[in-house]
Structure 1
């Protein structure tokens, strides 16, 4: 079977893309899946969240210098391709190359058979790095913070998915909308209802509840299951992984 390659996107920062990539990846590995998480964000927050700082080789070297992907093991069934600030120079370089939009797809093709799931943590923009991720992927997971401003621009991302599907990646589809940082406020509940009503076929049933353990686990450079497997967020990400596997 071909791996499910999932681009985790939103053009806004702070919505939970990195947290979702790490914790969904870990949850999938706990379900006996072979998982690779890929950091394609120059901020390298995914790499830092597992304790990788200034790796000697990172995804920049694969995308821009033609080197092999530097895969590192995190845990049983869970590997990562790290990023570094070097990646900030990739956009300018990739945009000038004929096949600049296909670099990640071509690189992943050499190792994809080793995994059941590949999750790509995208930068908070819709530039060439995010396009690389979407062209390499067969599914897009849009992470949506449960606040009014966070849902603006959803149609823009969905339109981009359709444009890429029609022109560059026929296999690409919208996997779903994941609501994060959900709490008991009226605003949060209203946003959840709005997204689930306006995108009934796309919104995940699972939502990720606001939980201080998520912030604490990041500070300790651990996934949520290693930090506190009994917390609400751990329960939510485990439920999400089951919904993804069965979806």
Structure 2
């Protein structure tokens, strides 16, 4: 199904090594953010060993959201559909990945399953991709609530959030989006954290499954993430690979 993903992910084990700089940690990351980072790392380790924790956690959140918005009967049908599609997709894509790429796998399969379950329930409505993207964001164990909490802890007490964020961003990106599945080019600009994704596995995955429209909708998660940053930090992104451009051009800047 996605042999290229598994093959390239294993190649990436020796492709990029995250920098270890205790001076950086002491200077730029407050104690509470360190605690949050350790909690996140522990969560990633748990997901490696217990994929069901992630899946069941998101299904529980999804069930509560849908029950509130659509009622008991319809929400039950959709969640049952998500579970069915997740199992089908997961069976075709064995969990052979390592480290952070395993988390990407779980996230991608769950997003795919949510979209397919909504299509089963509502048909080919043009609003379904955006609905699926919103539900992925609101229910995901690594999306809205954890990100909001992390940013609150990371920026606590900071008089200059951008100065704290800028040196951390590259290390975080290198860790979360390793090569060779991802290829990132950093852009040097004054007062800007700039990086271009010139390679990303998500558009390729959705293209192979004829779901490019949903893939483009899922890219809007970037803006949802950016909205949780302090008001002193803004984000621009004018082009994406999923829309046919040659790169996704992210610019995080000081307001």
Give the alignment's TM-score, normalised by structure 2. Answer: 0.29
Q: Which has the larger radius of gyration?
A: 2
Larger strand proportion of the pair:
1
* TM-score, scaled to structure 1: 0.30
More helix by share: 2
| Higher RCO by CA contacts (8 Å cutoff, separation 6 or greater) | 1
